[in-house]
Amino acid sequence: MMKWYEFKPSDSLFFRGAEPMLAGMEYETTLVFPPSVSVISGAIRTAVLAQRSISISEYWEGHPISESIGKYGKDAPFDITGPFLKYKSEYYVPAPYTWFTVDKENSRKVQIMKAADLEMDVKNRLGLKSSPKLIRWVRHDKEVKSVGGDWISLNGLMENRSKFENGRSIFTSDEIETALFSTEKRTGISIDYQRKVEESKLYNARHIRLKSDVSLVWRIDGDCGLSSSGVLVLGGEQRFGRYRQLDDDPVFPNSGNEYLALSPIPVCEKSRSDLIATGQITYRGGWDLAKQFHKDMKGYYPAGSVFTENVNNCCIPF
């Protein structure tokens, strides 16, 4: 059973990369937005336990709830589609990295050019060779840039538009800040393993603040036992908000030759072989609650990456 949910945070949200937060660092930690499905999945599983007053120790010992949310320390038995953004009554998804536009500052109209396969005779004539099996090319006579990772209307994606209106059907980003959300610099205090403040040690991070009438939306493919509405803790620093089940489900394309990632996709042999286009890879680690130790570092293709298959069931056809 598939269910759609809308989440509105009570404050800012904090999704970070894997850089250490140490005193004296001049750079900021990488902000990962939208978050990966593992973040959403973990928040849902925690919420289910809280709603049923099930302790972590009971869960670890094999409580029957494991049939719905998965065993302690194992992957969830359900898939997450999303997350993406809802602004008023419209839905917005990450733009594909195979879409390009002429770089015009303060341009209201955005003309989209889509990368296409080069014909074999063109490859042979130009003497092009590449280790990937796919070579894409954008025909242009001016400077172009990818809109990958920006936000476009879901209707625009489904209609395969070539023209978008900036600030309405497409929201272009400036260091990942758009009219849909903003970033805020925060200064944190370092603590030691006993959770005591370490004197004179500060770190910098960035938080996401969704604008008014903007929310996160995702789908759960399966019945995990989550209540139709409630409170959800999402991301770092125990940031929370309220969620509810949607009355009307978003409509997605039924078919397509390519697949758009709505959230970061782990880099592995399968995703690498199916990859068509992507942006800069980000790296994440984190803390493994089950093992009580740090997770291995893992690379992720950003949301907006394009694949030949529905990798990890995190993609939609277009």
Which residues neighbour 95 within 8 Å (Cβ) at sequence distance 6 or greater? 147, 148, 149, 150, 151, 152, 170, 304
State the average pLDDT for the chain: 86
Q: Locate 48 and state its tokens.
A: 């289910």
Q: Model pTM greater than 0.85? A: yes
For residue 232, CA distances in Å to 8, 45, 244, 262, 282 come to 9, 10, 10, 20, 25
pLDDT in tens, 136-176: 888 777 888 899 989 999 999 999 899 999 889 999 877 66
Q: What pLDDT, in 10s, does the model give residues 238-285?
A: 889 999 999 988 988 888 889 999 999 999 999 999 999 999 998 877
Q: pLDDT per residue over 198-252, tens digit each?
A: 777 777 778 889 999 999 999 999 889 999 999 999 987 788 999 999 998 898 8
| Strand ranges of the sheet holding 144-146, from the earlier edge strand across to the other edge | 113-114, 99-102, 144-146
pLDDT at 29 over 70: no
Question: Using an 8 Å Cβ cutoff, are 118 and 124 in contact?
Answer: no
Provide the pLDDT confidence category of residue 83 given band limits of 50, 70 and 90: very high
Which amino acid makes up residue 116? A
At residue 187, the pLDDT reads 77
